[in-house]
Amino acid sequence: MVYEKLRLFSGTSNPPLAHSICEHIGKPQGEIYTQRFSDGEIFIQVKETIRGLDAFFIQSTSSPANDNLMELLIFIDAAKRASTRNICAVIPYFGYARQDRKSAGRTPISAKLVADLISRAGATRVLTLDLHATQIQGFFDIPVDNIFAIPLFAKDIEEKNALMDDVMIVSPDVGGVVRARALAARLHVDMAIVDKRRPAPNVAKVMNIIGDVEGKHCILIDDMVDTAGTLCGAAEALIEKGATKVSAYASHGVLSGPAADRLVESNLHELVITDSILQPQRILDTNKVRTISIAPLMGEAITRIYDARSISSLYEDS
């Protein structure tokens, strides 16, 4: 199918994913020129006419988060000033999503600030994957399509586990119960919950396991893994409670700081993540991380947005 007025552009955060999305859709990647001045300022020029067209800019706001966010905003401004008909910010990983409420006095709601920046820059729509908090959609004054990786995870789990009788889905904290329950329901298996406390940012302490995990292959499910402290601590607690094997699935592999060392030293059999964030070699060298691609999912969502077709049927139960 020829999408005559659709144009796809890639930022610098994850070129391989953008290339795969373009291949899935069957459209060549649009040409843009990106330059960084010696003081760090970003300059972008769109090298083709986009007047009256629909531009989709693919850019995760992962590390370096501020640079990648600024690059996204500058492209949106350039496209707006070039009289683009619609500008969709395709943000596979939406940074600053963890700051979605006032957790203490005199703290920001940074997710709302970022939403305002994207809207005011001129974006007409946002497409993202597994927001850390779904209410962030309400921070925007423009439509937001938040799609989910659970169907991809469910398919992968079924392919990798010939016998599903010993599989148990585990939420690494109480806040992730809805996600874990949705995956468990798709797979028709039981679930358990890890009761943890977080005394400080990036610090988690496992307190208890809710559910009988003895003799089970426990699969932890989360929206993101940052320093991997929560997952590695949960894996250790599950093994102590009698689990035979512990794997983990997460939509976004932030994997910063001590994550690589923790994964190598942990009881985790495997961590499966999507390619929403481009992984450095140190993470791949752990031999514990496997990546599955969201390019077909994102590509299909982009074409449905362009054609004004339903997005929810991509991830809802059939």
CA distance 192 to 238: 10
- Annotated ligand binding at 235? The verdict is no
- Annotated ligand binding at 101? The verdict is no
Residue 196 appears among annotated catalytic residues: yes
- Annotated ligand binding at 227? The verdict is yes
Cβ–Cβ under 8 Å, residues 218 and 229: no
- Annotated ligand binding at 285? The verdict is no
- Annotated ligand binding at 229? The verdict is yes
- Annotated ligand binding at 222? The verdict is yes
Catalytic member of 27, 196, 216, 288 = 196
- Annotated ligand binding at 198? The verdict is yes
- Annotated ligand binding at 99? The verdict is yes
- Annotated ligand binding at 173? The verdict is yes
CA distance 49 to 99: 37
- Annotated ligand binding at 39? The verdict is yes
- Annotated ligand binding at 165? The verdict is no
Q: Which two tokens stand for residue 196?
A: 């943890």
- Annotated ligand binding at 82? The verdict is no
Residue stretches of the annotated binding site for ATP: 39-41, 98-99
Q: Which residues are catalytic?
A: 196
Which residues are part of a known binding site?
Answer: 39-41, 98-99, 132, 173, 198, 222, 226-230
Binding-site positions for D-ribose 5-phosphate read 198, 222, 226-230
Annotated binding site for Mg(2+): 132, 173
